[in-house]
Amino acid sequence: MPTVNFDKNEFISLLGKAVDDQTLSDRISMIGTDLEKVNPEIVVEVFPDRPDLLSIEGFTNALKGFMGIEKGPIEFNVHTSSYEGAVDPKVKSVRPFAVGAIVKGIKFDDDTIRSLMQIQEKLHITHGRNRKKVAIGVHDLDTIKFPIKYTTMPRDFSFIPLEFDKNLTIEEILRTHPKGVAYAQLLSEFKECPIWIDNNGQVLSMPPIINADHTKVTEKTKNLFLDITGTHRKSIEYALNIILMGLFIRGGEIHSLKLNEDGKDWIYPNLNREKIELELSYSNKILGLNLSEDETAELLMKMRYGISSKSKGKLVVEIPPYRADILHPIDLVEDVSIAYGFENFIPEIPKIATIGQENSIEVFIRKIEEVMVGFNFFEVKNYILSNEDVLITKMLDNKRKLVKTRNAVNTEFDTVRSSLLPLILKTLVSNTHYEYPQNIFEVGVVVPDQNLIEKQYLSCAICHPKANFSEIKGVFNGLLSSFGLQYSVKEGEYPYFIGGRACSLEIDGLAIGKMGEINPEVLYNFKLEMPVSAFEIDLSAIFDLFKEKIQG
Amino acid sequence: MLSKQEKIILKVLGDLKGESNPDEIAKISELPEVAVMRTLLYLSSKELVIVDEKGVSNLALTNEGKTSLANGLIEKIFIKGIKDKLPLNELGLSEEEKNIAIGIARRNGWIAIEKINNSLSFSLTDKGKAALNEKTPEETALEDISKKRIVNDNLVNLLAKRKLVEKKLDTVRKIFLTELGKKEVLKGIEITDEISELTPDMLKNQNWRNITLKKFDVYSDVKIFYPSRKHFVNQAIEYIRKIWLEMGFKEMSGPMIDTSFWVFDALFQPQDHPARDMQDTFFIDSPRFGQIDPKLSNKICAMHEHGGDINSKGWGYKWDKRISEEYVLRTHTTSLSVRTLSTLKPEDLPVKFFSVGKVFRNEKLDWKHLFEFYQTDGIVVDEDANFKHLLGYLKRFLNKMGHSKIRFRPAYFPYTEPSIEVDIYNKNKGEWVELLGAGIFRPEVVVPLLGKDIPVLAWGPGFGRIMMEYYGLTDIRQKYMNDLDMMKKLPIWIKG
């Protein structure tokens, strides 16, 4: 989640009301953001569904409503103008969507500049998925000759990028300019790259990488052109509207841009409020409240919605054009609950009868653990992720096909464990400085092979100077007899057990595990200088054999 | 119950009219002095005797003093040598002792000294001859001191200067029977044999009736035996399971390796959602893709693309089935909640489910972060459930976990609306701490799975933190370090 920092004086001045820190921290927490602190500046984590709260103007706008300082939506005023442009069909396969708008009469004091930079950067990272989905360019309007065009250019096309004093080709920018290097992968698969260009052939920007130096904003700039491009039309429109909200609150005058796309004219920005119907009964049922139309309307206005009408249990709600998160009436219901105040709901437990019940394999596992502890074995617990060296190489067990992850950050833990036995040995290795005997066991999920069938295994080892086959067999015998189970053994060969001192374990002819003395070669691989005898069994298989008995 | 030694000593004291000292007791009882002292202390702690201690300054012979008492003072050895005409270097005296001896003999007028051919020649005077047969006052004093007789102070000082005697601080102990002790003696004391271990033979032939078992020092340190036990994480999990069960929840289970479909898509998480990034999620290498039910996948696809046939806009993008087929290690156990919802029939409601299981995040392992940890999830599927009920369940649940001061805050999760963050108040830090996320599943999640928009209340408390606090762990990796010594010394989980 993105963290944003707001200057407190500026925040209070935009809020239009002096508020003490206590109230501020309480109200900011209850509006639906994670407050980090209010002193000396305000730091909040904004949830990803509310990009409109990323700017100080947007945040204070919402808080003004929530705190009852102002209510209802912002009434935007868009001047129709003659600014025009076109979207070249060539961009379709590269970066298909573009919108723009003009803002005039901006006073470029420090606050405005800082706020504009911050919202641009935060939108890029979050809402814009690191510029992939949405990229924003801000230009000095008075350097641009309209009409403009959003098109693509080959990689040898050149212009002067921001903060440079000479022409660079697109290829050079992507290889040498800091921004080019940082975002080059977004364009790596395309022969031609997106370019905004004006009627004089001057480049405005190369989205989503860099603007041209020619149109850069200076302290003398009064009028802006905003270009927004991306891969998702709705997302770039929201980004545009969020930025315009901030500039409008700062006193900017919004002028329209007509963009011709596929022979059709699109007028931007679209700051109209979409209407959604909210059934009062739906809202009340979800919230467990009994609010009237007026009360609900009032709460929605606190959240800065408009209400076009309310009658017969139905409210027609107007959604502010910067609210990217309203997909369904349920989203309005949530805002009703926030405005009502979570602290004002009275928690209640309904009187419904339900029966609690555990999975019977969990009961079985618990009983297994109890018996093992009764044998005076200590339970250990290893990570489910391990690695090939432990699971295969050290165990001399090269026939298995392991389930590996593709992208593990910790290379020591990149493979799903196929057996518990190697991890039991690893545990013994990390305890060699403590006294013996060390008798341990582990119960847990393993994924034996690439069929991805998850099983519960039990692995159990005795480790002391005289640990041998007979002793571990005695333990196994006692374990199974505790559950009233008969088993048989069959002499077997396993790379990790000593030949002639290992067997497979069977119940009713079904192989359920193996047992033996660990091969000294394996002990050597693990650097363990103490004899170990062990067994490992498939509890899921045993459980299947007699689950009726457990389920009673 | 008195030990054999205690009985012996009480008896001795009784015979001595209730008053004695350790030396005397040791002599009469024939017990070693140390044993007498130790036993007297036991008796005194039982208030049967009083041990009265006084510090007394005593004179004692030094080692040299003892030698002198046995062999004679050096001045005597010297004049005896003259009498026997022995060469001076055969007297066994050091050069220094010889000089001292000459000095004393001359001062006492025992010898005459002549110088012949540059060397000294000694002869005994009459006084010297007489001295050979009598004891000097120093000799008498040495003997007196050794026998603890009183000696003239001048002589003591003289001998002390010659380092033949020294002053020592001794403790003198007097032992008295208390009233209680006297009563005990009056009752009559019978002394039986003392044995250190009871044996099967003694039990068989009833010899135990004739013996007394030696007393143990119950205060002494012994080797500690630690019990085997379930892993401490499992102990805490049992506690969480118990809370769910007590609240009438039924356990659900499901795969740890699952398709993205169940982990993300069914939860209405758009396919470009940052949580689905490679940085956060473990993707499986082989097999890479799994099967998903085509009918359900069509419904989910419609929901993502345009909100299906409900009153939702959906996310408005082209949903890719292939992406949803990718296997991942589940990032939350909420995948089990949606799997469970997909199996429910209308007649099953109302119903409540819980799960406890491992979840995975592709994070670098350090003291604060694990790449796999336990999560628990619960859902309530009830046609009449509402937001107040969710708060009610949460409050009860957290009370059971031992948290009384809690706060509900608006939050955001992609699959719930409204969404709640629950904070608990940490008294020690004096601040609110996030504990769990909760909410009501969005219609976009519920409708494709249940076929109808039924409120599904959901919450998933973390319990890693309460576990760390309970066991006093400071590094999260300690949970799976399997340090046997550390684990056997941890307290048993007794919350519940």
pLDDT tens for each residue of A515-524: 999 999 999 9
Residue whose C-alpha is closest to residue B329's, from B268, B273, B390, B281: B281
- For B54, list phi and psi in degrees, rounded to 5: -135, 140
Mean pLDDT score, A136-150: 95
- Minimum CA–CA partner of A288 in chain B: B386
- In angstroms, what separates the C-alpha of A232 from chain B's closest C-alpha? 7
Collect all residues of chain B within an 8 Å Cβ-Cβ radius of residue A447: 256-257
- A219: in domain: yes
Asked if A328 and B228 come within 8 Å (Cβ–Cβ), the reply is no
- Cα–Cα distance measured from residue A21 to residue A15, given in angstroms and rounded to the nearest whole number: 14
Task: Match 């309460």 to its residue by tokens.
Answer: B466
- The pLDDT value recorded for residue B68 is 84
Choose the mutation target among B327, B339, B371 for the interface with A, i.e. most A CBs under 10 Å.
Answer: B371
- Cα–Cα distance measured from residue B25 to residue B2, given in angstroms and rounded to the nearest whole number: 17
Whether the predicted pLDDT of A550 surpasses 70: no
Task: For residues A538 and A414, state if they share a domain.
Answer: yes
Q: Within an 8 Å CB–CB cutoff, is residue B239 touching chain A?
A: no
Asked whether residue A261 is marked as a ligand-binding residue, the answer is: no
Mean pLDDT score, B65-70: 84
Asked if A349 and B396 come within 8 Å (Cβ–Cβ), the reply is yes
Task: List all residues of chain B from 379 to 438 with a beta carbon under 8 Å from chain A.
Answer: 382, 384-389, 391-396, 407-412, 414, 417-421
- A71: in domain: no
- The pLDDT value recorded for residue B173 is 87
Helix (H, G, I), strand (E, B) or coil at B468: helix
- Minimum CA–CA partner of A326 in chain B: B313
Task: For residues A56 and A119, state if they share a domain.
Answer: no
- A413: in domain: yes
Q: According to the per-residue pLDDT averaged within each range, which of A415-419, B73-77, B224-228, B346-350 is highest?
A: A415-419
Out of A268, A285, A313, a domain closes at A268
pLDDT band at B77 (very low <50, low <70, confident <90, very high): confident
What contacts B271, CB < 8 A, 6 or more positions away? B264, B265, B304, B317, B319, B320, B323, B324
Rg (C-alpha) for chain A, rounded Å, is 34
Collect all residues of chain A within an 8 Å Cβ-Cβ radius of residue B398: none
Collect all residues of chain B within an 8 Å Cβ-Cβ radius of residue A328: 307, 310-313, 417, 442-444
pLDDT band at A167 (very low <50, low <70, confident <90, very high): very high
Task: For residues A118 and A21, state if they share a domain.
Answer: no
Collect all residues of chain B within an 8 Å Cβ-Cβ radius of residue A288: 386-389
Taken in order A325, A27, A304, A75, the sign of the CA dihedral is negative
Task: For residues A259 and A140, state if they share a domain.
Answer: yes
- A163: in domain: yes
- Minimum CA–CA partner of B318 in chain A: A232
Choose the mutation target among B226, B250, B272, B285 for the interface with A, i.e. most A CBs under 10 Å.
Answer: B285
- Minimum CA–CA partner of B259 in chain A: A452
Domains present along chain B, CATH in parentheses? 4-57+169-213 (1.10.10.10), 63-168 (1.10.10), 232-489 (3.30.930.10)
Collect all residues of chain B within an 8 Å Cβ-Cβ radius of residue A450: 286-287
Residue whose C-alpha is closest to residue A99's, from A151, A162, A152, A150: A150
- The pLDDT value recorded for residue A341 is 96
- For A484, list phi and psi in degrees, rounded to 5: 70, 30
The side-by-side arrangement of strands in the sheet containing B165-177 is B19-20, B165-177, B49-61
Task: Match 């005898």 to its residue by tokens.
Answer: A533
Question: What CATH number is associated with residue A50?
Answer: 3.30.56.10
Asked whether residue A454 is marked as a ligand-binding residue, the answer is: no
- Cα–Cα distance measured from residue B58 to residue A18, given in angstroms and rounded to the nearest whole number: 89
Q: Within an 8 Å CB–CB cutoff, is residue B251 touching chain A?
A: yes
- Cα–Cα distance measured from residue B487 to residue B81, given in angstroms and rounded to the nearest whole number: 80
- A240: in domain: yes
The C-alpha angle B246, B251, B255, rounded to 5 degrees, equals 155
Task: List all residues of chain B from 145 to 204 with a beta carbon under 8 Å from chain A.
Answer: none
Whether the predicted pLDDT of A552 surpasses 60: no
Collect all residues of chain B within an 8 Å Cβ-Cβ radius of residue A346: 388, 391
**Strand runs (DSSP E) across A333-487, as ranges?**
378-379, 385-386, 403-404, 415-416, 438-446, 455-463
Residue whose C-alpha is closest to residue B386's, from A326, A315, A333, A317: A333
Task: For residues A337 and A397, state if they share a domain.
Answer: no
Collect all residues of chain B within an 8 Å Cβ-Cβ radius of residue A34: 411, 421
Which residues make beta-bridge pairs with B95? none
Q: How many domains does chain A have?
A: 4
Which of the residue ranges B157-171, B331-345, B421-435 would you say has the lowest mean pLDDT? B157-171
On whether the CB atoms of residues A428 and A529 are closer than 8 A, the answer is no
Task: For residues A49 and A146, state if they share a domain.
Answer: no
Question: What is the domain range of residue A58?
Answer: 3-66
- In angstroms, what separates the C-alpha of B217 from chain A's closest C-alpha? 27
Task: For residues A60 and A94, state if they share a domain.
Answer: no
- The pLDDT value recorded for residue B60 is 83
Asked if A454 and B257 come within 8 Å (Cβ–Cβ), the reply is yes
Task: Match 């989205």 to its residue by tokens.
Answer: A207
Question: What CATH number is associated with residue A91?
Answer: 3.50.40.10
Q: Average pLDDT over chain B, rounded to whole? A: 89
pLDDT tens for each residue of A209-249: 999 999 999 888 899 999 999 999 999 999 999 999 999 99
Asked if A50 and B412 come within 8 Å (Cβ–Cβ), the reply is yes
Asked whether residue A20 is marked as a ligand-binding residue, the answer is: no
> How many residues belong to chain B?
496
- The pLDDT value recorded for residue A551 is 63
Task: For residues A157 and A12, state if they share a domain.
Answer: no
Task: Give percent above pLDDT 90 in chain A.
Answer: 88
Residue whose C-alpha is closest to residue B282's, from B343, B359, B170, B225: B359
pLDDT band at A99 (very low <50, low <70, confident <90, very high): very high
pLDDT tens for each residue of A312-359: 999 999 999 999 999 999 999 999 999 999 999 999 999 888 999 999
Asked whether residue A334 is marked as a ligand-binding residue, the answer is: yes
Task: For residues A247 and A118, state if they share a domain.
Answer: yes
Mean pLDDT score, A273-279: 96
Task: List all residues of chain B from 359 to 378 with a beta carbon under 8 Å from chain A.
Answer: 360, 362-365, 371-372
Asked if B388 and A345 come within 8 Å (Cβ–Cβ), the reply is yes
Which of the residue ranges A11-25, B153-167, B262-276 would you say has the lowest mean pLDDT? B153-167
Collect all residues of chain A within an 8 Å Cβ-Cβ radius of residue B313: 327-328
Mean pLDDT score, B64-79: 85
Residue whose C-alpha is closest to residue B421's, from B409, B431, B405: B409
Please state the ipTM of this predicted complex. Answer: 0.92
Region label for B185, one of left (φ > 0), alpha (ψ between -120 and 50) or beta (otherwise): alpha
pLDDT tens for each residue of A468-504: 999 999 999 999 999 989 999 999 999 999 999 999 9
- A40: in domain: yes
Asked if B256 and A350 come within 8 Å (Cβ–Cβ), the reply is no
User: In this complex, which of B372, B408, B443 lies closest to A383 when CB atoms are compared?
Assistant: B372
Task: Match 């500049």 to its residue by tokens.
Answer: A113
Question: What CATH number is associated with residue A384?
Answer: 3.30.930.10
- A469: in domain: yes
Residue whose C-alpha is closest to residue A528's, from A458, A412, A438, A413: A438
- The pLDDT value recorded for residue A69 is 96
Collect all residues of chain A within an 8 Å Cβ-Cβ radius of residue B257: 403, 416, 447, 452, 454
Task: Match 């009882």 to its residue by tokens.
Answer: B29
Residue whose C-alpha is closest to residue B290's, from B236, B347, B330: B330
- Cα–Cα distance measured from residue A540 to residue B174, given in angstroms and rounded to the nearest whole number: 77
pLDDT band at A18 (very low <50, low <70, confident <90, very high): very high
Collect all residues of chain B within an 8 Å Cβ-Cβ radius of residue A405: 282-285, 329, 362
Rg (C-alpha) for chain B, rounded Å, is 47
Collect all residues of chain B within an 8 Å Cβ-Cβ radius of residue A439: 228
- Cα–Cα distance measured from residue B160 to residue B286, given in angstroms and rounded to the nearest whole number: 97
Distances (CA, A) of B104 to B109, B123, B131, B161, B162: 9, 15, 12, 14, 12
Q: Within an 8 Å CB–CB cutoff, is residue B29 touching chain A?
A: no
**Strand runs (DSSP E) across B2-131, as ranges?**
19-20, 49-61, 111-116, 119-124
Task: For residues A508 and A388, state if they share a domain.
Answer: yes
Task: For residues A57 and A115, state if they share a domain.
Answer: no
Query: Dihedral, CA atoms, B218, B219, B224, B225, nearest 10 degrees?
Result: 20
Task: For residues A235 and A256, state if they share a domain.
Answer: yes
pLDDT tens for each residue of A407-466: 899 999 999 999 999 999 999 999 999 999 999 999 999 999 999 999 999 999 999 999
- Cα–Cα distance measured from residue A158 to residue A170, given in angstroms and rounded to the nearest whole number: 6
Q: Average pLDDT over chain A, rounded to whole? A: 94
- The pLDDT value recorded for residue B4 is 81
- A353: in domain: no
Asked if A380 and B350 come within 8 Å (Cβ–Cβ), the reply is no
Asked if A47 and B412 come within 8 Å (Cβ–Cβ), the reply is yes
pLDDT tens for each residue of B181-226: 888 888 888 877 777 888 999 899 998 888 878 778 788 888 888 9
What contacts A168, CB < 8 A, 6 or more positions away? A158, A159, A160, A161, A176, A177
- Minimum CA–CA partner of A287 in chain B: B387
